């Protein structure tokens, strides 16, 4: 990985940053790549840097004591991990898991820079605040879905959000992957998907789901 590729990512994905901030990041961040399925962060891990996503897609989730997963949200190019920012700043261990869904690349901003970036660069300050706000709103949507909706409504909401994130009608998701994200069983999810297909909301194929509405 070259310094030029770091520069390209920063100039392409973080256009809101002032020139001095871009140069600061180019000089100090490091880049790391992860294969699909590889863990970026684990429960109990301490962060030495905060994470900016520049390629691929990362799934954040909580893991229960029995291995069950509670899906939180996805991070995509141009996003930052708000929880890594908080844990890095407070020197606390992670309470969540992060897994690369696709082959992914991240930029790692050292903890030592955090105070300086917040104080000296207004665009970084507003970026951090917007990151906190958007992630909080996503979590509220997830909580509302669980608290006030049945599993069939949660499934519809989940598929809609997947389509919006990917900007696609075709979702390459297995029934087991959906069941894991929704903390349900594959059999129940398959049955609900079949009902959605009968209502004309989706079309099921062997390896993907097509959104119709």
Q: Which domains does the chain have, with CATH numbers?
A: 3-146 (2.60.120.10), 150-211 (1.10.10.10)
Predicted confidence at residue 202, as pLDDT, reads 93
The whole-angstrom separation of Cα 107 and Cα 69 is 26
pLDDT tens column, 71-84: 888 899 999 988 88
Q: Is the pLDDT of residue 7 over 70?
A: yes
- What global pTM score does this model have? 0.75
Taking residues 139-148, report their average pLDDT: 79
Whether 1 has a pLDDT exceeding 70, the answer reads: no
Indicate the pairing of strand 39-41 with strand 97-100.
Answer: antiparallel
State the Cα–Cα distance between residues 186 and 174, nearest whole angstrom.
Answer: 9
Which of 161, 195, 197, 192 lies closest to 179, judged by CA?
Answer: 192
Q: In the predicted model, is pLDDT for residue 69 greater than 90?
A: no
- Indicate the pLDDT class of residue 4, thresholds 50, 70 and 90: low
pLDDT at 2: 47
Q: How far apart are CA 47 and CA 211, in angstroms?
A: 38
Q: 65 or 17, which is more confident?
A: 17
> And the tokens for 38?
């590889």
Specify the pLDDT at position 159: 93
Dihedral of alpha carbons 59, 62, 65, 68, sign: negative
The mean pLDDT of 30-57, rounded to a whole number, is 91
Residues across the chain: 213
- And the tokens for 168? 């696609």
Mean pLDDT to the nearest integer, 152-169: 88
Lowest mean per-residue pLDDT among 67-81, 106-120, 188-202: 67-81
| Mean pLDDT value across residues 181-205 | 92
Q: For 79-93, 150-164, 185-199, which range has the lowest pLDDT when averaged over its residues?
A: 79-93
Q: What was the pLDDT predicted at 200?
A: 94
């Amino acid at each position: 990985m070259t310094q030029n590729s770091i520069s390209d990512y920063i100039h392409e994905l973080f256009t809101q940053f002032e020139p001095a901030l871009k140069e600061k990041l180019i000089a100090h961040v490091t880049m790391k790549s992860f294969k699909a399925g590889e863990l970026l962060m684990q429960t109990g891990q301490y962060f030495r840097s905060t994470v900016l996503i520049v390629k691929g897609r990362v799934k954040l989730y909580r893991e229960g004591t029995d291995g069950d997963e509670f899906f939180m949200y996805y991070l995509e190019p141009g996003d930052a991990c708000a929880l890594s920012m908080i844990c890095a700043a407070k020197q606390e261990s992670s309470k969540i898991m992060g897994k690369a869904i696709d082959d992914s690349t991240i930029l790692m901003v050292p903890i030592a820079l955090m105070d300086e970036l917040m104080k000296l660069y207004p665009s970084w300050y507003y970026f951090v605040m917007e990151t906190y706000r958007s992630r909080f709103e996503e979590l509220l949507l997830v909580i509302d879905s669980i608290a006030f909706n049945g599993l069939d409504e949660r499934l519809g909401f989940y598929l809609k959000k997947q389509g919006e994130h990917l900007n696609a009608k075709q979702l390459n998701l297995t029934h087991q992957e959906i069941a894991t994200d929704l903390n349900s069983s594959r059999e129940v999810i398959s049955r609900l998907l079949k009902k959605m297909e009968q209502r004309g909301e989706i079309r099921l194929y062997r390896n993907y789901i097509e959104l119709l509405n």
